């Protein structure tokens, strides 16, 4: 099993979610987060005053998949979140040692 975590631009969420559904992903966790990378935020002008926004809004997606699906899911996220501009985000793939369904106690792929 693999845990795929992606941090993407908020306006790309609908595209990524559609791509993941087409790739066969049935479950995902989505969180609104803030952060920065190489772009270090940006400056905005409001009523003549300049403000530095160093924490940009992002969306964090977490998807649990089998080893066989991992590459297809990563590619679906990469293609659908791509804008060719700085701040497109990152994808992290982490191996999972164990998954446990709290309600039934099932473990492994059947717990998903």
Residue among 20, 14, 15, 40 at smallest CA distance from 4:
20
The predicted-structure confidence for 56-91, as pLDDT tens digits, reads as follows: 889 999 999 999 999 999 999 999 999 998 889 999
Q: From the centroid of its chain, how far is CA 32?
A: 10
Q: From the centroid of its chain, how far is CA 18?
A: 13
Please, what is the Cα angle at 62 between 59 and 68, to 5 degrees? 135
What confidence score (pLDDT) does residue 45 get? 67
Give 33's strand partners. 58
Distance between start and end Cα atoms, the chain: 10
51 pLDDT tier (thresholds 50, 70, 90) = low
Q: Examine the pLDDT at 32 and tell me if it is beyond 70.
A: yes
Q: What domains sit in the chain, N to C, each tagged with a CATH number?
A: 2-111 (3.30.70.120)
Pairing of strands 29-35, 2-8: unpaired
Q: What is the chain's mean pLDDT, rounded?
A: 89
Residue among 7, 20, 3 at smallest CA distance from 80:
20
């Amino acid at each position: 099993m693999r845990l795929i975590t992606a941090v993407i631009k908020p306006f790309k969420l609908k595209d990524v979610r559609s791509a993941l559904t087409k790739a066969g992903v049935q479950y995902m966790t989505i969180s609104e987060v803030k952060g920065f990378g190489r772009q270090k935020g940006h400056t905005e002008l409001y009523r003549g005053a300049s403000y530095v926004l160093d924490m940009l809004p992002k969306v964090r997606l977490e998807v649990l998949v089998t080893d066989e699906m991992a590459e297809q899911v990563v590619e679906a996220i990469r293609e659908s979140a791509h804008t060719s501009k700085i701040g497109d985000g990152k994808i992290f793939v982490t191996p999972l040692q164990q998954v446990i369904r709290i309600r039934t106690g099932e473990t492994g792929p059947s717990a998903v």
